Chain A
């Protein structure tokens, strides 16, 4: 088939809601966009382990410690599901990780904010995972098969994450005065960065239009953000906490909450590396990578030796 026909055939499949699978023909740009998006998503899961992992050794009860360990472990698992989806497109995981470490590839900016009190573990589960789920539910219907399947698995697991986070917020907002303060402080700090997670306004996002046409993305950033706000405000009310936005109010005409404009200056600065923890996060992942190099090499060397021994044994047996 000629390139033009291939492209038309490809688009026809997408329009007919037929999933694209790894060996199917796809435009280079589709492949590149997906590798970029999926790996970015994978990096986010892996870097996302750090702010929460921070509190594993300080979790305030055995129950919470188990939950947090399992949760952070899930994030690693999600990262791996996603890298595995990216690898079906011909990318190499080692290369992708390298791109993240040297700053060429991004991860979600939210993880460049610090976790300062225990309520932050609650807020991350409730708000950050909540925002992520809003996006991920959409992505279960994305046009690339392996990505969509990874998302189905992730969404199933994420709902525990959000629930455990909300449970922490609930315990603290109904707890002592100090705990309530921690919970409110945490909401104050995580609210706006959570809204920023959905990315810039639709008009300003460089990849939006094509991503829609290819059904990689199925809802706009602003649509998803609004959906998240609408779902979250009543939950904050239930906790008795105040969302840090004086302009926030129900708009009966639109059937949605109105909220203040986002501080995009802050958003772009954190994206560019000027968030409170950008350097620390990358340094931590770089250190794990460097310190682990000899371990990874040893495992390969051992596997090779074992294989040689097996070949030797087979030859002896055959002789």
Chain B
């Protein structure tokens, strides 16, 4: 098989008000075809109202080896979470 169509990543918004979410990938020769293939492959059962496609080669992903440096530091910053604060019961909803 000669050169195949490039790979694209597909992101689907399942309904208005929700974020686009990664659904998988497809092959397509151009952007229009990528949208159409994504539609046929990932929304056959009415799973989407909007599609993003991006050629996979344009995605930069974080390196799992950097995970500690990137994500561990956020772990102990518990003061960012509302449950960190003790308020009297009289303050009902805050």
Interface positions of A (Cβ within 8 A of B): 21, 23-25, 70, 73-74, 77, 80-81, 84-85, 87-88, 92-95, 97-98, 149-150, 157, 289, 293, 296-297, 299-300, 302-303, 306
Contacts and interface: CB of A to CB of B under 8 A. Distances in A.
Nearest to B45: A157
B74 interface: no
Contacts of A24: 64
B61 A300 contact: no
A80 B25 CA distance: 8
B64 A299 contact: no
B55 to A, nearest CB: 11
A84 B2 contact: no
Contact of A92 (B4, B30, B40, B61): B4
Contacts of A81: 24, 41
Contacts of A74: 44
Contacts of A98: 1
Contacts, number: 57
Contacts of B61: 23
Contacts of A85: 24
B1 A289 contact: yes
16 contacts: A23-B63, A70-B44, A77-B41, A80-B26, A80-B41, A81-B41, A84-B25, A85-B24, A88-B25, A93-B4, A98-B1, A157-B45, A289-B1, A293-B1, A300-B5, A306-B30
Contact of B24 (A150, A296, A303): A150
Given A81-B24, A299-B30, A303-B29, 7 more contacts: A24-B64, A73-B44, A94-B3, A157-B45, A289-B1, A296-B2, A300-B3
Interface string B16-29: 00000000111101
Main secondary structure of the interface of A (DSSP, over half): helix
Interface string B40-54: 110011000000000
A290 B94 CA distance: 66
Nearest to B47: A153
Contact of B5 (A77, A87, A299): A299
A129 to B, nearest CB: 17
A302 B33 CA distance: 12
A93 B2 CA distance: 11
A24 B62 CA distance: 11
Contacts of B26: 80, 84
Nearest to B27: A93
A21 B12 CA distance: 20
Nearest to A92: B4
Nearest to B31: A303
A81 B2 CA distance: 22
Nearest to A21: B64
A157 B42 CA distance: 12
A296 B64 contact: no
A74 B1 CA distance: 24
A221 to B, nearest CB: 28
A94 B2 CA distance: 8
B41 to A, nearest CB: 5
Contact of B2 (A25, A149, A293, A306): A293
B67 to A, nearest CB: 9
B65 to A, nearest CB: 8
Contact of B7 (A87, A289, A303): A87
Contact of A87 (B1, B3, B25, B33): B25
B44 A303 contact: no
A300 B4 CA distance: 8
A73 B43 CA distance: 13
Nearest to A95: B1
Contact of A25 (B4, B24, B27, B64): B64
